[in-house]
Amino acid sequence: MQKILICAPGQIASKLEEKLRHNFDVETELSPNNATNNSTICEIKAKVKKDWITICRFAHNENLKDILTMFTVNYELKARRKRTR
Series of mean pLDDT values for 10-residue runs along the chain (85 residues): 90 94 93 64 88 91 95 88 65
**Cα distance between residue 68 and residue 78, in whole Å:** 15
Query: With contact defined as beta carbons under 8 Å apart, do 50 and 65 qualify?
Result: no
Domain borders along the chain are: 2-84
pLDDT of residue 80: 75
pTM (two decimals): 0.84
β-partners of residue 54 are: 45
What residue type is assigned to position 74 of the chain?
A: N
**Cα distance between residue 14 and residue 80, in whole Å:** 27
pLDDT of residue 37: 55
Name the architecture of domain 2-84. 3-Layer(aba) Sandwich (3.40)
pLDDT of residue 50: 84
What residue type is assigned to position 77 of the chain?
A: L
Q: Ramachandran region of residue 6, left (φ > 0), alpha (ψ -120 to 50) or beta?
A: beta
